[in-house]
Amino acid sequence: MEQAPASSNNLSQSRGFTDETGLRQLPSRRAGFAWHIICYRYIREKRSWHTPVFDSRVSALLANSYSRRPHAMKFYSASNVAGSHWHRFLALVFLCGFLPACATRPVVPYREVALPIPAASLPDTVESHEFTANKEDSVIGELASVPVRAGDTLADIARHFGLGFQEISGANPGIQPWTPEPETRVILPLQFILPDAPRKGIVINLAAMRLFYFPGGAKSFRVVTYPAGIGKEGRSTPTGQMLVERKTARPTWYVPESIRKDHQEKGDPLPASVPPGPDNPLGDYAMYLSKPSYLIHGTNKPYSIGFRASNGCIRLYPENIDKLYNRVPEKTPVTVVNQPYLTGWRQGVLYLEAYPPHEEMDDKQVKKNLLAKLKQIEKKQRRKLDWAKIEETLAQARGIPVPIFEYTDNLNAVLAKAVLLEHPMRLYGQPETPKWAEAGWYVKAAETNDEIRARRLAAMLNHQGPRIPARVVVQGGRYQVLAGPFTDAKATKTMAKRMAIDLDLKGEIINPGVRLSMNGATEPTRIKSRIKWREAERP
């Protein structure tokens, strides 16, 4: 198995070293919490109580659109952040999943061990949507991996390769989703176990947040699959049998009364209907299901895919709903299941794939049912299962199919076989750094001494929908997150209001005159040079 290169002296002193076993030894942090790095080996290190599952749930705050609800977490205004309330601000940001660090102690930025990238020519793509599945097998696709480039986020990589946020963050629990270290290899979990449901029409597995379409019905071996966004807790997507009742391109959104009431209470009244356009949360295509008020549709918030963020509908990336809409005829059957634990076969080998069960489920009963099923398989096949590996797969719930017969590959070996891809010239849909306008209008979202924290918040704002352009600049030795530039005072106030309602983030409006006086005679040069450096980092 390939070994990680030796760390630098500075890294060895601050974050540990790599010993002869290939495991990176780290200073003790907090017992019971682990990160995993997955590039040919399985590595754990002690850290704070930030986890991918925690990230996925609280980051859904950022993915919500017209489906927002009150949140207990509040941000202080940017003017207060610089003062005595800074430690309180950090604690709240920690809870929101923006900045996963303890507010009472400084945080050493997480660093992955960068593995050497082979010089040989590598493929830059792998099939992610259309597969062939024979009658006996139910495992499709293959794992892949890709190195991170400066400026990437896991959300960017996920969208380019046809994955949702839960899938890529769950498969890479040791990697910061919004500020991954350059050259870190990211696992692309493009191998899937088909849900335990008839291979007919559309099948949606809520636990995996993934849609499967069988264009030829049960007699065909073809399957098309896309990641999805689903209903949030309290407004879950219903399970059961449905039909595609009708289809509409450029749909009008007729706002349900319950959503209008929610917005009215937050001081953000909505109209009775929203016409087609960038503010329409249904996107460009909608397929209305036979169960009233539920749809499969596009979205104006593409980075909400892989979150529980809707009011019950199924969301797809705009580039995916476009293809599905044109292939699926009306009256197509739709089956919605919620299966966090999946078993499947490939070439005579039994695999197990696990996702975190949703809060509404009785996870103990679900696990009990699975173990009973596996015992029956073991008895019928007369071949022993690796029960320790089964327990580990369920506990980690990384959404990666793992063979579970005795003497089959463990997770480390499975990951080591992932196809290494070359980083694309540009990731599809990746937000560009907004152009700098010296005389522009801005909203200062936050100010901090920590560059990683500032970059993380800026990345999250850039991945809103519609997008909130944001960047990090240096002012007086501190890092500021500026949203903008905006054309005038009205547009700036509108954006500040949206940030407050959508994200509970209270920013400070900075007009061009104030900005010049605040920077002084020498600061603009420093800010400009910092911005150029940031832009040069991007692929």
Number of other residues whose CB lies within 10 A of the CB of residue 24 = 22
pLDDT for residue 532 is more than 80: no
Could you tell me if residue 172 is inside a domain?
no
Q: Would you say residue 169 lies in a domain? A: no
DSSP class per residue in 260-326: HHHHHHTT----SEE-SSTT-TTTTEEEEESSTT-EEE--S-GGGTTSEEESSPEE--HHHHHHHHH
What is the overall mean pLDDT for the chain? 79
- Asked if residue 426 has pLDDT above 90, the reply is yes
**Considering the chain, what percentage of its residues have pLDDT values greater than 90?**
61
What H or E segment, with its residue span, contains residue 191? strand 191-193
pLDDT in the model for residue 187: 98
- Asked if the structure places residue 491 within a domain, the reply is yes
pLDDT tier at 54 (50, 70, 90 boundaries)?
very low
Full residue range of the structural domain in which residue 313 is found: 229-335
Catalytic residue among 39, 96, 313, 463: 313
Give the neighbor-by-neighbor strand order of the sheet with 185-188: 185-188, 144-147, 419-420
Query: Does residue 45 have a pLDDT over 60?
Result: no
What pLDDT band is residue 67 in, cutting at 50, 70 and 90?
very low
> What is the average per-residue pLDDT within 421-440?
89
**Does the structure show a pLDDT above 50 at 33?**
no
Q: Has residue 285 got a pLDDT over 90?
A: yes
Q: How confident is the model at residue 68 (pLDDT cuts 50, 70, 90)?
A: very low
Residue 314: inside a domain: yes
3-state helix, strand, coil in the chain (%, to 5): 30, 25, 45
Which residue among 272, 302, 335 closes a domain? 335
What is the rounded CA–CA span in Å between residue 529 and residue 418? Answer: 39
State the pLDDT at residue 347. 93
Residues 6+ apart with CB under 8 A from 72: none
Question: Is residue 452 in some structural domain?
Answer: yes
pLDDT confidence of 515, banded at 50, 70, 90? low
Closest by Cα among 197, 327, 254, 215 to 66: 254
pLDDT at 58 over 50: no
Q: What is the DSSP string of 217-264?
A: GGG--EEEEEE-BEEPTTSPPPPEEEEEEEEEESPPEE--HHHHHHHH
Q: What is the pLDDT of residue 126?
A: 87
**pLDDT above 50: residue 122:** yes
Q: What sign for the dihedral angle of Cα 378, 382, 383, 387?
A: positive
- Write b or e for each residue in 309-347: b if 16 or more Cβ atoms lie within 10 A of its Cβ, otherwise e: bbbbbbbbbbebbebbbeebeeebbbbbebbbbbbbebe
The CATH number of residue 313's host domain is 2.40.440.10
Domain count, the chain: 2
Structure tokens belonging to residue 76: 């202080």
Q: 448 with 478: CB under 8 angstroms? A: yes
Which pLDDT does position 61 carry in this prediction? 44
Token pair listed for 16: 């540990």
Mean pLDDT of 105-130: 57
349-397 pLDDT, tens digit each: 999 999 999 999 999 999 999 999 999 999 999 999 999 999 999 999 9
Query: How much is the average pLDDT of 86-115?
Result: 37
- The more confidently predicted of residues 512 and 241 is 241
Rounded distance between C-alpha atoms, residue 171 and residue 52, angstroms: 9
150 assigned to some structural domain: no
Task: Name the pTM for this structure.
Answer: 0.75
- The CATH number given to whatever domain includes residue 479 is 3.30.70.1070
From the candidates 160, 297, 423, 463, which is the catalytic residue? 297
Q: Is 39 in the active site?
A: no
Residue 222: pLDDT over 60: yes
102 among known catalytic residues: no
Mean pLDDT score, 279-283: 95
Percentage with pLDDT > 70 across the chain: 72
State which of 335, 362, 389 marks the end of a domain: 335
Greater model confidence, 55 or 341: 341
51 falls within a domain? no
Q: Is the pLDDT of residue 86 over 60?
A: no
Q: At what angle do helices 523-537 and 512-519 cross, to 10 degrees?
A: 100
| Boundary of a domain, candidates 335, 360, 389 | 335
Residue 27 pLDDT exceeds 60: no
Q: Evaluate if residue 220 carries a pLDDT over 90.
A: no
Q: Which two tokens stand for residue 254?
A: 């007729």
Whether 55 has a pLDDT exceeding 90, the answer reads no
Residue 537, pLDDT score: 31
Inside any domain, residue 407: no
pLDDT bin (cut points 50, 70, 90) of residue 274 is: very high
CA 268 to chain centroid, in Å, comes to 27
pLDDT at 52 over 90: no
